[in-house]
Amino acid sequence: MGNINKLKLAQRGAYLSIVTYIILSVLKLYFGVFYDSAAVRADALNNMTDIFASVAVLIGLKISIRPPDDNHPYGHLKSENIASLVVSFIIIFVGVQVLVENVPAIFSPSVTKPNPVVIYISVAGGLIMLAVYYINSQLAAKTNSSSLKSAAMDNLSDSLISLGTAAGLVLTQLGLPIADVIIASVLGLLIIYTGFKILKSAVFALSDGYNDADLIEHKEDVLEVNGVLDVKSIKGRYHGSSIFLDVTIIVDPEISVTEAHRICDRVEEHMHNKGIMSLYVHPEPLFKE
pLDDT score of 124 = 93
How far is residue 156's CA from residue 9's CA, in Å, rounded to a whole number?
20
48 and 128 within one domain: yes
Nearest to 188 by CA among 272, 87, 94: 94
pTM of the model: 0.72
> pLDDT for 215-270, tens place per residue?
899 999 999 999 999 999 999 888 776 788 999 999 998 889 899 999 999 999 99
How far is residue 107's CA from residue 124's CA, in Å, rounded to a whole number?
29
pLDDT bracket for residue 116 (50, 70, 90): confident
pLDDT score of 111 = 63
193 and 275 within one domain: no
Q: What is the CATH number of the domain that holds 180?
A: 1.20.1510.10
Q: Which of 165, 182, 206 is the last residue of a domain?
A: 206
Domain that holds residue 127: 3-206
225 and 260 within one domain: yes
Nearest to 191 by CA among 22, 15, 29, 50: 50
Return the amino acid letter for 100.
V
> pLDDT for 190-229, tens place per residue?
878 888 888 888 888 888 788 888 889 999 999 999 999 9
Number of domains in the chain: 2
- Residue 231 β-bridge partners: 249
Cβ pair 241, 6 in contact under 8 A: yes
